[in-house]
Amino acid sequence: MNSAGSKKNCTLSHKEKISLIDRSHPDISLVRQSEILGVSRSSVYYEPRRDPEEIRITRAIDEIYTHRPFYGSRRMKDALADDHGIHIGRHRTRRLMRLMGLEAIYPKKRPKTSESEPSHKKYPYLLCNLAITRPNHVWGTDITYLRLENG
């Protein structure tokens, strides 16, 4: 393994560096810790602002999702307007649902019956390079699936 590849694996993201800072360390100040980790001091002290309106909307989305987890962003937008009087667009609703990790629960696409089971053996097609030049040279048959009374 080359040194560039190992360095890439050892570097920490900005959030990981910030999480390493010990705010109550008795000997090393926050300024010094930020210098050692290579992050700016302002990012150590930064606390994201929480918009009270967005908090209200996310709580309403959470409440609706708890009762109706099959709602997508379109129906969620309508339910917000009807149940809580919150009128926001579908894209904002979708963004907030994504941030909250919510996804509509619905039956996912199932494979068709013609798709083969991966564990089953696949036999080669032996006639692919054969030139069929006369009658009765190659025979074929059709096995049709018929459900019978006893299986």
pLDDT, one tens digit per residue, over 47-80 is: 888 899 999 999 999 999 999 999 999 999 999 9
22-44 burial by CB neighbour count: b if 16+ within 10 A, else e?
Answer: eeeeeeeeeeebbeeeebeeeeb
Of 23, 85, 76, nearest in space to 56 by CA: 85
- Return averaged pLDDT per consecutive 10 residues of the chain, 151 residues in all: 48 89 90 91 86 94 95 96 95 96 88 77 87 90 76 64
Model confidence pTM above 0.75: no
The helix/strand/coil state of 33 is: helix
- The pLDDT value recorded for residue 144 is 74
Neighbours of 94 (CB within 10 A): 16
